[in-house]
Amino acid sequence: MGAKWQRIRSILNPRMLKPQHVSSYSITINDVVTDFLEKLVWLRAKDGGGVMVNDVAGELYKFAFEGISSVLFESRMGCLNDEVPEETQKFIYSVGEMFRLSAVVVLFPQSVWPYLPLWKKFVAAWDYLFKVAEQMVQKKMEEIQNQVDLHQDVEGAYLTHLLLSEKMTVTEILGSITELLLAGVDTTSNTISWALYQLAQNPSIQDQLYHEVRSVCPGNKMPDSDDIAQMPYLKAVIRETLRLYPVVPGNARVTVDKEIVVGGYLFPKQTLFHLCHYCVSHDENIFPNSRVFQPERWLRGREEKSKQHPFGSVPFGFGVRACLGRRVAELEMYLLLSRLIRRFEVRPDPNGAEVKPITRTLLCPATPINLQFLDRGAQRAPGPAAGASL
């Protein structure tokens, strides 16, 4: 483990992992959630005033971009506007291209990368990501300087803190923020897409979640991190979704410094371990009825919970190299799902087929997820009864 990596991580950890700091992002994220809920209403009206929203995952991708950008850059990118700014559209496209091409690039030795036909596109995608990130960082630096010149108190959140601390160079800040941005978008968008898909298929689970949210946040009360702490079923729904559909289905680690013994087998240093999270989280020996959506298995006091292996599902990794943005991603998902379910009843597409996952570097829906969003209290839309979960 490099000393530079350890130094940077020690600086970033407090602002991204400590609850008191993460909870401070609730207002920022709730503002984005409010805009997304209105966007859903707009999308329904756009299609003739119905209740159907097509390609929910695509819309949630824009939400996730807006949410994580608001936290990291302390600035909105316009992803939820009726007309998304051209530069933002290009930024979103570049992220998609980067992930799509990464799946091909990693199949070849690094020495041949510059000779691959797609290499220029791959580099161009990365270059544009850093260009936009650099512009956002530079904008914040200019805002801070203007406040200093006017002898005003400098206030801000994540990016402001990093710039003022002077513990990292601008280049290090740029690299770290870009990495967090890329890691945060797909986790939130894919997980909420699958959660809504499963809740639509399982109305009894959706009803239980709805009643929990209403009991903790009645009326139009805006939930915050303290309210989320009182919603164990909400957390169980997200955790079960991540078990069934881990965003990172597999990853690898190398035993760098020393040999290790696992299960009586000796592995020398420099051994590459490939970990298949998808296989483990679908193992019947670890999770009985592993293909069934059962949030209850994560509730404390349940017999299933006491029997589970502690590492049966680790969607954010574990240890010093665990996902840095985990707490922020979880807060985004909790706030969005709780408010969305309180406002809408989610129903399946009556003409839709089963949506299966596919791996494109990350695990994502193989086909569009189309769902109905009914205002709470409105008459249920006609359609077949919800089927069993996958």
Whole-number Cα distances in Å, 124 to 114, 120, 229: 13, 6, 43
Question: Please, which residues have CB within 8 angstroms of residue 212's CB and are 6 or more apart in sequence?
Answer: 231, 232, 233, 234
Residue type, 367: T
| Token duo for residue 364 | 């994502």
Q: Are the CB atoms for 206 and 199 separated by under 8 Å?
A: yes
| Token duo for residue 151 | 């002898």
DSSP letters of 245-271? S-SS-EEEEEE-SS-EEETTEEE-TTE
Q: How far is residue 278's CA from residue 123's CA, in Å, rounded to a whole number? A: 30
Is 323 known to sit in a ligand binding site?
Answer: yes
- Using alpha carbons, select from 228, 176, 202 the residue that is nearest to residue 333: 228
Q: How far is residue 78's CA from residue 70's CA, in Å, rounded to a whole number? A: 10
Q: Are the CB atoms for 66 and 171 separated by under 8 Å?
A: no
Percentages (nearest 5) of helix, strand, coil residues in the chain: 55, 10, 35
Question: Please, which residues have CB within 8 angstroms of residue 34's CB and are 6 or more apart in sequence?
Answer: none
Q: Which segments of 297-352 are extended strands (E)?
A: 344-348
Q: How far is residue 343's CA from residue 348's CA, in Å, rounded to a whole number? A: 16
Q: Are the CB atoms for 336 and 192 separated by under 8 Å?
A: yes
Residues annotated in a binding site for heme: 323
Residue numbers belonging to the annotated binding site: 323
